[in-house]
Amino acid sequence: MTLDTPRSVQTTAPSFAAVAEELLDDVYGYLLYLTKNWAVAEDLTSETFEVAFKKWRRFDPRRGTPRAWLLAIARTTALDWFRADSRRRRREERADTAEPRREAGDGFGEGLSPALENGLRALTAGEREVVALRVVLDLDGEETARLLGITPTAVSTRLSRALAKLEERMSDNDVV
C-alpha cells in the first residue's frame, strides 16, 4: 500500500476509545494475576493505557489484534514494575533487616477460595502468567506464545505443568 492510497481503501484500526473500553477488564485481570495486588494492577493498567494511547497511531491491525498488542504493553509495564519493585525491596532490606512485610489485600482477586489462592501462589510467576493468558483471558496458544516470546509448544508445556501443580495442590486440600 502506498502513501497515496485513499484512506477509505486502507486497512483501518478501530478507535482507541472502543478498544480501551472493550479490553480494559482483560488488561486489568492479566495485571492482577501477575502482581497479585489490586492497587498495583490498577496503577499498571492506567500506565498501560497511557502508553497505548501515545502509541496508538503506530498500531497496525495487520500485525496482530488490539488485545495482543495491549497485553504486550501490559506485560512490559508489569516487568518494569517488578524490576523497580525488586530494586526498591533490596534498598529497604539493606536499610532494615526486618523480614519483608506483606501488604494486606495481596491476592489474585475476589471470590477465590483459600485453597485456590494457595494453589496459585505455589505456581511460579511464569506458570501464573500462562494460566492468566490461556485460561483466564482465553488467548490461543499462538497469541500467548507471541506475547511471551516463547514457542507455542513451550506455552502448552508450561500450561500443562501449571495445571497439574494446581490440581495436585487442590487435591491436597481435598477440594473437589
Eight-state DSSP code of residue 137: S
Question: In angstroms, rounded to a whole number, what is the distance separating the alpha carbons of residues 176 and 93?
Answer: 41
Tell me: pLDDT of 2 over 80: no
Report residue 14: phi and psi, to 5°: -65, 165
pLDDT, residue 108, reads 56
Band of residue 45 on the pLDDT scale cut at 50, 70, 90: very high
Average pLDDT over residues 99-111: 52
Measured distance between the N- and C-terminal CA atoms of the chain, rounded to whole angstroms: 56
Mapping DSSP onto H, E and C, the string for 37-105 reads EHHHHHHHHHHHHHHHHHHHHHCCCCCCCHHHHHHHHHHHHHHHHHHHHHHHHHHHHHHCCCCCCCCCC
Eight-state DSSP code of residue 135: I
Average pLDDT over residues 58-86: 91
In the chain the domains, ranked by start, together with CATH numbers, are 15-109 (1.10.1740.10), 111-176 (1.10.10.10)
Tell me: pLDDT of 105 over 80: no
Average pLDDT over residues 10-20: 79
Share of the chain above pLDDT 70, in %: 80
pLDDT, residue 1, reads 37
Band of residue 49 on the pLDDT scale cut at 50, 70, 90: very high
pLDDT, residue 96, reads 65
